[in-house]
Amino acid sequence: MQRARLFTAWDGTFSFPSSQSLARLGVPVLLALLLIGASVVILQNPKVAIWDQARLLEARFEAPYYPALPFAFTSQLLVIALRALLPAGAPLHEVLRLVAMTFWAGSAAWLATALLERRALVAVFLILLFTSQYPFLWLSSELITGGFLCLAIGAWLRGASPWIVGPLLALLGLCKMELLLVSVLLLAFWVHTSSSRREAVTLVASFAATLVLLLLPGFVVLGSDYWIRYDASGQGRGIATFRQHFAALVAPFQIGPAPNPWVDPEPYVERVFPGAESMLAVVTTGGLPYLDFVALSMARGVRKVGWVFGWAWLLLPVLAWGWRRGGLELGEREKALLLTFVGCLPFVLFAYPHIRFFARYYPIFWILLFVALERVWRLDDASVRNPCLRLAGLLVGLALFQNARRMAIGLAAAPHLQQYWFSD
């Protein structure tokens, strides 16, 4: 008996890992290789920080650069932490881009592995992420926002303590002003689905306490309106964003030389919304020209979203057909992911959707599609499963080809571009 045990132990020591173990090991290895490759591209093509990125790099615990919600509060905290940790003279801009990219991709991969059983789909997902060119985005706060969105949902799915999930939701809500809506809705949904009243109360308490602790110093230092004030004139971020984007939408339709809409939006806005100093005044302007703005914004958004996701949009009707024929229904995890897209509404109501805005939703979109694909994969009815999987496989392949082609063009142009990014 002792000899048998000895040989069993010897065989176990020198046995090869199973295919499942290799597949699980392959995901972090692939992620590491993709991160290394993307980091090399960023470091070999350094860019000057512009616009909101330049403002973000000025973050410090003093006015006027004290962390505030209109300027990506959570991202500003990260910048302050990096400045404290890095040696003098270190390239803060490039380090921030590398950290934001790693956080975004790592959080998305963590969420994908929590939801997807097939590691091959996770591998395809990672390739789609990196060939989208989003890792090279010039505005790091968008990647940080997407990272916290994936991280908060992943923590909830993996059963993390409410004392962890609550603060993560608070940090998510402080990433961007519109993310407060997303974080509150996720909080309400998770409270509704909590297993106990104590868990629900703890989740709400940790969320609220984190918000108070993070925002209270700003109220003391800068006053009660610091969390919405966008500039020295006291404008809120909402009306300031609207003014610029309204001007940018109508400027191309002028018949003569016109002011730069981003620098001097007043002539455009005053002509249509005379005297409007708030979004309420804009919405209630006689004749409701605000609806014209929303229509133009939606049209611009359809064009931008179509460009970002390309062939992937055709997966929606294919998988919807498979779900309907297979009698599948949405579960709690799918509902939580879909709920996050409420954060797209402010894109249309206050601005128009930029390509960079979808960095935070790009991973969620693909994870939802792949979760739906796995559900179809498990159907017993081959007459539904097989054609659906064939069409889905073709469309995913086309999406990979489209991304790879754009990536090749982007890499070739990288040394000559100011931002290493496509039109936004």
For the chain, domain boundaries = 48-240+274-416
Kindly report, residue by residue over 110-121, the tens digit of the pLDDT: 999 999 999 999
pLDDT of residue 16: 41
Structure tokens at 415: 């040394």
Nearest to residue 361, comparing CAs of 353, 373, 351? 353
At 226, the pLDDT band (50, 70, 90 cuts) reads confident
10-21: average pLDDT = 44
User: 34 vs 253, which has greater pLDDT?
Assistant: 34
| pLDDT of residue 3 exceeding 70 | no
| pLDDT of residue 72 exceeding 90 | yes
User: Rounded to whole angstroms, how far apart are CA atoms 189 and 183?
Assistant: 10
At 342, the pLDDT band (50, 70, 90 cuts) reads very high
At 5, the pLDDT band (50, 70, 90 cuts) reads very low
Q: Where are the alpha helices (DSSP H) in 48-178?
A: 51-56, 73-85, 92-115, 119-131, 140-157, 162-173
Kindly report, residue by residue over 202-217, the tens digit of the pLDDT: 999 999 999 999 999 9
| pLDDT of residue 174 exceeding 90 | yes
| Alpha carbon of residue 336 to chain centroid | 15
pLDDT mean across residues, the chain: 89
For Cα atoms 174, 177, 180, give the angle at the middle one, nearest 5 degrees: 65
At 355, the pLDDT band (50, 70, 90 cuts) reads very high
User: pTM for the full model?
Assistant: 0.91
